[in-house]
Amino acid sequence: MSRRRSWMALLLAVLAWALGCEQTGRSHVLAPVYAAGTGVRDVSQNGDTIHVDRAQVVFGPAYFCATSSADRDLCPTALAEVLDVSEFDALSATPTPIGTLRGTSGTYRSLMFDWGISWLLSASRPESTLPALGGHSAVFSGSVTRAGRVVSWSLSIDASPAEAGRPAVAGVRETHALEPADASRALVMTVDPVDWISRVDTNEIFSAADVAGAESVVLGPETTSYQAVLIAMTSSAPPTFEWGTRP
Amino acid sequence: MQRSLIQSLLLLVFLTSCSSATGVGDVSVRLGAEDSITLGLTAGSAAEDVVDGWDVTYSKFIVAVGGISLRQQSTGTQFDSLGVHIVDLMALPATGFELARFAGVPAARYDVFNWQIAIASASATREASVAEADAARMIADGCTYLIAGELTNATGQTCSPGTACVDARTVRFDLCIPAATTFGPCNDPDGAAGVAVSAGGVTNAEATLHGDHLFFNLFPLGDEATIVRRAQWLANSDTGHDGIVTRAELESLQAAQLFTSPNYSLAGAPTVDGHGIETGWDWVRAQARTQGHFQGEGECPWN
Amino acid sequence: MLRYKRAVLRVRHEIGWFLAVVVAFSGLPRADAQTAPSVISAREPAYPTDELERANEPVVILHATVEVDGTVSDAHTEEAGNPSFDAAAVECVRAWIFSPATRDGRPVRARVRVAVHFHAPVAREAAPTPMDDAASHEPHIASHPENSEDVASDGDDGDRFAAEGSVDPIADSRAARSSSDYEIDEAQLRATPARDAGDVLSRAPGVYVARGEGDGVAHSIFLRGFDAEHGQDIELSVNGLPINQPSHIHGQGYADLGIIIPELVSSVHVTEGVYDPHQGDFAVAGSVDFRLAVTDRGIRSRSSYGSFGTFRQLLVFAPQGERDGSFAAASFRHSDGFGSQRGGESGTANVQWEFGDGRTRSRVFAALYGARFHLAGVLRRDDVATGNVGFFDAHRDPSALLQSAFAARAMLGAFVDLLGERGSFAQLGVWAQYNDFRLQANYTGYTEISRVDPSWRGRGDLIEQSNEAGSFGFLARYRSERWNPFSILGAPLGAHVEVGLTGRIDLTSQRQNLLDATNNQTWDERVRASIRSSDVGAYADLDLRLGTYVRIRGGARADLLYFDVDDALGNFTPRFRRESFIPGYRRSAMGLAAGPRATLEVSPAPWLTLNASYGQGYRSPQARTLSDGETAPYTKVHSGDLGIRFQLGDLLHASVAGFYTTLSGDVAFDPGEGSLRYLGPSSRVGAALSLRSQPVRWLTGSLSITYVHATLDAPPLSSAEDPSPPYRSGEALPYVPPLVLRADVSARDRLTDLEGSAVTGHLGVGVTAVSNRPLPYGESSAAFGLFDVSAGIAWSALSLDVDVLNLTDAHYAAMEYAYTSNWSPTEIPSRVPARHFAAGAPFSMMVSLGVKLP
């Protein structure tokens, strides 16, 4: 209503309020979102030790849906969303702010999101939405130790959506209530990059090192390790979300 | 004249007072098989074809199905059929197989239609189309599906991970798959929820199984939209190169070895025993949990 | 020497006993084969309220022209007297119905001289005149002296006869059924400017009318807690012809009022609630009938020019000597529209002619309408707030700039009224209509994917809807003579019974596609269907009077509907499926909707009426939502109303009503599909106050305030998209304004005389106020108030008017929604609902020059 609103409208608004504030069944939700890792950097696999030095991840956008099968078709309208796309250190257990959750109250049962690469409905190809990390979804590096031999590895994941308008990660089942804003609360996303990296094939790393004659390998998309981490990030080991107090 | 007018008025009032009685009808819930089950899939470049050169034919597509539920949300009126039938979709008559019949259903739209693929058990009814041995195998292995068939490709090869490719014109598969799933609430192909029961007759509702999901390149939730069908991964799963793919072979292969990006996407895949897809066998079980539809192409979310 | 007939008519007035003596004479030379006009029915003269204190009982002598159909086409006083009594007498006599004069057995036009006696209300208790012995209160003609030659006012010694009068029986059958039954008369309608019939309708209590989607698309109407969309909850008709279109692609019951020329509307009958067995499909919130007539006879031209390059030309042909219901009129309008993307043209023609004599009245009505306008569409609030788009602009996107609406309609109807004895009548009517509609609108920006080929996506959600329909219908009703079987405790029992039959067949062809705005390519096909539907309704209605104070009316109505749908895209085969069948889904369904309606009316005093009403109504389903053999699921409404009416002459008409309605299934607009989606059962409880006053002859005023608490009564149905939608007990229905206020004040009088002709002026002010409206997802739309002003002056054949709408230039949302859209296809899309609105018209002024030929 403009400043030229008539006194009559004001009077009516007051009267309507006095007669009972008419509301539909939802309220606004606004909360900060943080990302955190587990703080763990090492994992054993078949006697080998995998150490993760770096796990930088780009997250967003994310949509929280009432359906239990969040995807383009079953979630045309989301309960809430995080439209920010942010990079964070997935190894740090300290929550990092990555954006704001905006939406309406209700129970969300699943979510869908991108790891920094989105395929917009009108676009011809998926594109990175944040110029960080060279346009990749995640950049990992570390080493693997087998019987005293240490081979460094690096891995740059591109978690691209399979088709336009679809998110890279869909149907992640999480059930939480979204309630009206409580200034002390925040939504905390927890990722476990070491769990993801645990799926790499250490034999493949050592073999690649042997072939290359170097103690450092780059795990590209042609490698099983790359595909395993990608599957973990996009399907089998998605992040979890919990409401907590604002850090 | 006046008297007859008043009589007609009273008659109309009487009739309108009884207008809430809308009658009852029967509902026949039938099991139907998509053409991809009975006719198989063909290799080709068209949108409905298998794009990597393999023809797919099934010899058995046995399923344990039941747990039919029809409910009207507004009134809570519900009809259930808990019985489980073991049926071979390859032997279905054109009119399908009647899974359940609800009699005396008040005519109205029942906006929730659910059905289940169940673990075969001794209490399930084995239909005549299913061999006793096959039913026994399903019961013993706790399966919901027994799917057998073959892939054929005149220039086909099996390229198992980590091994050299070998020629394979035909690759058979015989899989007893546990993939218990509840489908629903289902929408018909035009998006209408459930079933509208008409009075004084029989309304048919078809629980439809699709036979091509095993060969999808992704897990569409809702509309199947732009899927692509590929079968090479199954041929590659014949790690023993004996011409038949087994459960053990699928379990031995990582999903990352078979379903590589960008040709495949596992986003949105249903979980299997509470975990994500790790192996080729997990993929089979997960895709088996997506095959249920309604009235042909109608969509049913899975649990 | 001429010989005249003499008539004496006695009527009973609500506020007192009147004896109106009518002395009529024929202006024709006497001939053996001639008969003079005689009264069939006569409306009671209303005693002017400004004369109550003086309690004079004058006789007003008038000259009236009785047409061949028995109606009075012209009446004027023999000599000017007290203006209040003169006006009341003229108004009264114009409504009388005569048996026409005849010559050689053929009806001919005649002039009569009539004397009307006014008796003040205080005279009610005076000694009854001999006429009180008349047993019946029904119209009947007593013995007529043959070939009366003379005429005399009351008191003459000439031949006399007596007749007992009552109101027109057809009008009587339409009398109010509840305290929420309103007749918006010409004085109210002319008080303030009306661009179209939607503005006319907004005069009714509890009604808010918006044209949010733009010209060329039907109005959105809100009535007493109902979001009636484009007509789904209101049965709309013009001169008895239905306007609602069943199964329309843009919304069930779609009703475009553009076919009505607003200047022709002489009254609007608004029935809020469902209490009348005449009410059929779509009468959920109520019914509205626009009645067209031209009382200001002559040939008229009115040219208007004003804001936004708007030009309007109106021509009215209403020759003197014909009945008010006989006219021909046409209007043309061009406008560039406010803001951007709202330009277009429309043209409307309305023709009606009435025929027949006093007992057989016929009329033929025809109407044509065509319109094409660009549409600005809806805007996101956040886009306006950030300056991406102006409040009155359209999105600068190709698919937004291609939004437009086209509508064409033709109506033809013929009706015959046969008046019988003792209040009986029969009415027969047939009608035919043709409708064409095409809409291009983008509500959601860029969110759609082609169903035909899912790889086609993101080309703009420009929905193209088309709907073409041919409709044919009839109505037949018969009301019996008054039946007086016995008395109860001395109070005579009298009853009419009416039975009626209505029917219509609609042949509809409709499509919905997605268009690529840059090249006009169709990139998805959503609907391609043809629908045949029919509706046969039957009702019976009892009108029972128990003595003087109690009237019981009611009966029942049943409608049988049949649907035959050929849905060419049913069982659609997606491109990635092997074709194993021919797409299409043909189905048929039937359903019966029936329910009672009843009204109890108690009039303990002439100025006071108490009403209690109950009724059940229904809305038919959109045919494409039906499955084969489905028992058509009607949306059923239960409506109850309790109210009081006061009537103190013209000084004050007041009504207070409390109402309660429940609806078995509400629906609301779904922007994604441009159509309606199911919400769930709902209820409304509220109250309405309506006041109308004419304290002095030149001043009229009206005020209505309606408050309603509309709630959703059950959680929305679960779906795959939302297995358990949030629901709060008593949550408000979206879009419905709880409070609607409308006030109109108008002054109209003779200012002076100039060269022998009167100079008259008028000034009118109208106020509309709409409270906050709840929106889905916890959003709310702001309250607003609008002031409209009209001023004009007329002299001789000329008139000059200035109409100002939205005087304060309030920036308000005519319609507001909350849903998901994406107008930035190159940015990360939001999927949470956002507020969208359609801007209401800003300040606008029109100057009109009128020329009238007698």
The closest CB to that of A12, out of C458, C769, C810, belongs to: C769
pLDDT higher than 70, residue C675: no
- What does the alpha-carbon distance between residue C108 and residue C85 come to, in Å, rounded to a whole number? 30
| A199 part of contact set with chain B, CB < 8 Å | yes
Beta strands B55-71 and B112-117 are antiparallel
Looking at per-residue pLDDT, the higher value among C769 and C721 belongs to C769
**Residue B154 identity:** A
| C575 part of contact set with chain B, CB < 8 Å | yes
CA atoms within 13 Å, Cβ hemisphere of B208: 26
Of residues C608, C559, C563, C605, the one with CA closest to residue C587: C563
**Residues β-bridged to residue C474:** C430, C503
Burial of C490 (0-12, 13-18, 19+ CB in 10 A): exposed
pLDDT at B225: 64
Stretch (H or E) spanning C76? strand C72-77
Mutation target for C interface from A75, A112, A121: give the one with most C CBs within 10 A: A121
Q: Residues near C69 by Cβ (< 8 Å), separated by ≥ 6?
A: C100, C107, C323, C354, C355, C356, C357, C358, C360, C361
Scored b (16 or more CB within 10 A) or e, C88-124 reads: bbbebbbbbbbbbbbeeeebbbbbbbbbbbbbbbebe
> Checking phi first, is residue C475 left (phi over 0); if not, alpha (psi -120 to 50) or beta?
beta
pLDDT at C580: 80
Of residues C384, C256, C223, the one with CA closest to residue C812: C384
- Lookup result for tokens 């944040």: A130
Asked, as a colleague might, if the bond just before A61 is cis with ω within 30 of 0, I would say yes
Distance, in angstroms, between C411 CA and closest chain A CA?
Answer: 40
Most confident of A26-30, C412-416, C716-720: C412-416
- What does the alpha-carbon distance between residue C469 and residue C412 come to, in Å, rounded to a whole number? 14
Tokens representing residue C648 in the block: 């103190």
Q: What is the pLDDT of residues C71-130, one digit of tens each?
A: 887 888 777 677 788 888 888 888 887 777 777 777 777 777 777 777 655 433 333 333
- What does the alpha-carbon distance between residue B86 and residue B128 come to, in Å, rounded to a whole number? 9
First and final C-alpha spacing in chain C:
33
pLDDT higher than 70, residue C585: yes
Mutation target for A interface from B236, B266, B283: give the one with most A CBs within 10 A: B266
Of residues C749, C791, C783, the one with CA closest to residue C766: C791
- Lookup result for tokens 């959503």: C526
pLDDT higher than 90, residue B55: yes
Q: What is the pLDDT of residues C738-751, one digit of tens each?
A: 999 999 999 999 99
- What does the alpha-carbon distance between residue C587 and residue C631 come to, in Å, rounded to a whole number? 12
What average pLDDT score do residues C805-820 get? 94
CA atoms within 13 Å, Cβ hemisphere of C144: 23
pLDDT at A7: 58
Burial of B8 (0-12, 13-18, 19+ CB in 10 A): middle
> Of B11-20, C396-405, C723-732, which gets the smallest average pLDDT?
B11-20
Beta strands C162-164 and C8-10 are parallel
3-state secondary structure of C554: strand
Tokens representing residue B153 in the block: 């490709």
Mutation target for B interface from C279, C422, C453, C497: give the one with most B CBs within 10 A: C497
pLDDT at B3: 55
- Lookup result for tokens 């009119």: B95
Neighboring chain C residues of B13 at a CB cutoff of 8 Å: 540, 555-556, 596
pLDDT higher than 80, residue C30: no
CB-based contact B276 A221, cutoff 8 Å: no
| A168 part of contact set with chain B, CB < 8 Å | yes
Of residues A134, A233, A108, A120, the one with CA closest to residue A167: A120
Q: What is the pLDDT of residues C750-784, one digit of tens each?
A: 999 998 889 999 999 999 999 999 988 888 899 99
Note whether C159 and C145 are within 8 A (CB).
Answer: yes
CB-based contact B198 C628, cutoff 8 Å: yes
Neighboring chain B residues of C578 at a CB cutoff of 8 Å: 35-36, 39, 48
pLDDT at B11: 52
Q: Can you give C423-438 as a three-state secondary structure string?
A: CCEEEEEEEEEEEEEE
Tell me B38's DSSP state.
H
pLDDT higher than 70, residue C693: yes
- What does the alpha-carbon distance between residue C620 and residue C247 come to, in Å, rounded to a whole number? 9
Burial of C290 (0-12, 13-18, 19+ CB in 10 A): buried
3-state secondary structure of B72: coil
Stretch (H or E) spanning A218? strand A216-219
Q: What is the pLDDT of residues A28-37, one digit of tens each?
A: 889 999 999 9
pTM given for the model: 0.84
| B158 part of contact set with chain C, CB < 8 Å | no
Q: What is the pLDDT of residues B165-207, one digit of tens each?
A: 999 999 999 999 999 999 989 988 888 889 999 888 899 999 9
**Residue B212 identity:** D
Mean pLDDT of chain C: 84
pLDDT higher than 90, residue C729: no
Q: What is the pLDDT of residues C290-335, one digit of tens each?
A: 999 998 889 999 999 999 999 999 999 999 888 889 999 999 999 9
Q: What is the pLDDT of residues A70-111, one digit of tens each?
A: 888 889 999 999 999 999 999 999 999 999 999 988 889 999
Distance, in angstroms, between C374 CA and closest chain B CA?
Answer: 32
Neighboring chain A residues of B222 at a CB cutoff of 8 Å: 69, 71-74
3-state secondary structure of B188: coil
| C578 part of contact set with chain B, CB < 8 Å | yes
Burial of A185 (0-12, 13-18, 19+ CB in 10 A): middle
